[in-house]
Chain A
Amino acid sequence: MIRDITLGQYYPAKSIIHQLDPRVKLVTTMVYIVSLFVAKGILGYVLATFFLAMTVKLSKVPFRYITKGLKAIMMILLITVVFNLFLVDGDIVLWRFGFLRITDKGVKTAVFMAIRLIYLIIGSSIMTLTTTPNDLTDGLEKLLGPLKKIHVPVHEIAMMMSIALRFIPILLEETDKIMKAQIARGADFETGNLIQKARAMVPLLVPLFISAFRRANDLAMAMEARCYHGGDGRTKMKPLHYVSRDRMAYGLVWGYLLAMIGITWAERLYVTAFWPL
């Protein structure tokens, strides 16, 4: 059960999206999220849909695999839609029951909000599905590099992330082991109300924490023994270099954002010109 929660669930495949520089993918995801909030009318969403569909197609990740990630946000999605549907004020009332009413504008906002959220999740899933966690941390370290000037410990943050990723499976396995050991001694993790269940976690968490600290201590010693001394004077085994396809991807992405701004602006002009209401 715990094993399903994997950070950055990578889907191995050989596609152009997989081969892109992680920095490109990080920036693209950001730009795409921004573009979703720029879009206001139908045409904007058509463009966003087209861009997303193209990326999914190129990534060679099965669509079913991507939509699996959507299940997790179903609840949030539902709440957002319901709230928008009933609470947004509009001009034409479509349905009324007591104080509840649905307006044309409410429907529109609800639908767009749902699409926006779904696209947002799909967009970022594609990034994590096509990039190994290592590449992701490397990309992040390089992208945030300029922040070093204002004394943000960028290298240390990236190192912490990659160590965390390395130890997630080990600690999960350990949790499993401790759980079984405690069950063998009569611990009960299943029954009882919420408070009892939370209390049952104590004999699981205490040994887990102790072991995690011991591991951290060992690892720190092993890293020191191999001359680790922070990011200064360190070389990279796999340095990141932009190649032509990365530059092309950047061009496409910025072009897309410009097009989105253009379309949204044109749509607004059109609407105010013909439907001044």
Chain B
Amino acid sequence: MIRAEELTFEYERLDEEGNVESKKRAVDHVNLHIRPGKFIAVLGHNGSGKSTLAKHMNAILTPTEGTLWVDGMDTKEDDKLFRIRQDAGMVFQNPDNQIIGTVVEEDVGFGPENLGVPTDEIWTRVEESLSAVGMLKYRHHSPNKLSGGQKQRVAIAGVMAMHPRCIVLDEPTAMLDPNGRASVIRTARKLNQEEGITIILITHYMEEVVEADHVFVMDKGKVVMEGNPREIFSRVDELKSLRLDVPQATLLAYELQKRGIPLPKGILNNKELVDQLCQLKSKM
């Protein structure tokens, strides 16, 4: 679905005469391969290059060096631009700044309108995607009156209406309250499981990563760790050195292990921890 080879991107800082003053390498020789139908998470603290990477997947940025393919299409090729953007939809961080319409359903229709979809089909697509994210009953509302989580779900519906094969969510929950965060992640997971859409979730919240199929951890523009969540979370020291938090249950299990309690590695949530502890207790 998405493949990157030696992907490198440099931001140039220009001085007042327009000469290149300094360069900052945001993405540094990244290689990755994302298979269709997966739920992928990209982790990293601020400035790790994860958002820059995300913007490459939608051809908003094109690589300084290396290549990125979306569905076999090179993002550097201008004539494939709209097919790439339709194929890999993107949801951004700020819910207010990505809703264009003044009514929910009009916003969802914006993408299909740009693609030149016939009017009747726009309406069916709008209905389908609004019900897929559970926002159908808000279709006539003004986006200004919705909560943050609802706005993000409308934004997801707006991408869904373009019938993408893959959705890139660039820190969609960073500005939301816990409830909104949960609803957005739930929606993303539902789309992944029910519609088979590849989800690439960029985030710095560990809790959102737990149920992903595959996790990439980025630091200073490089992919430094890769694997399923259990593998990633069993390396608590490494994560800490990258200034990333681990879920509380994982951390507690890790500390208990250090004190000599024989728990397995990579415990992901409270339930697993409780189960393991109860098993230990019954053995005693």
Contacts and interface: CB of A to CB of B under 8 A. Distances in A.
B94 A218 contact: yes
Main secondary structure of the interface of A (DSSP, over half): helix
A260 B21 CA distance: 70
Interface string A126-162: 0000000110000000000000000000000000001
B114 A221 contact: no
A228 B58 CA distance: 13
Interface stretch (A84-92, A201-209, A230-238): A230-238
Nearest to B121: A235
B114 A226 contact: yes
B144 A233 contact: no
A239 B120 CA distance: 11
B100 A219 contact: yes
Contacts of B109: 237
Contact of A221 (B60, B105, B113, B159): B60
Contacts of B92: 218, 221-222, 225
Interface string B224-267: 00000000000000000000000000000000000000000000
Given A134-B102, A170-B144, A226-B162, A235 B122 contact: yes
A134 B103 contact: yes
B158 interface: yes
What band does the interface of chain B fall in when counting residues whose beta carbon is under 8 Å from A?
35 or more
A163 B102 CA distance: 8
Contacts of A225: 58, 60, 85, 89-90, 92
27 contacts: A134-B103, A166-B100, A166-B101, A166-B144, A170-B96, A170-B144, A214-B97, A215-B96, A215-B97, A219-B100, A223-B110, A224-B85, A225-B89, A225-B90, A226-B89, A226-B111, A226-B114, A227-B82, A227-B86, A227-B111, A235-B113, A235-B119, A236-B113, A237-B105, A237-B109, A237-B123, A237-B126
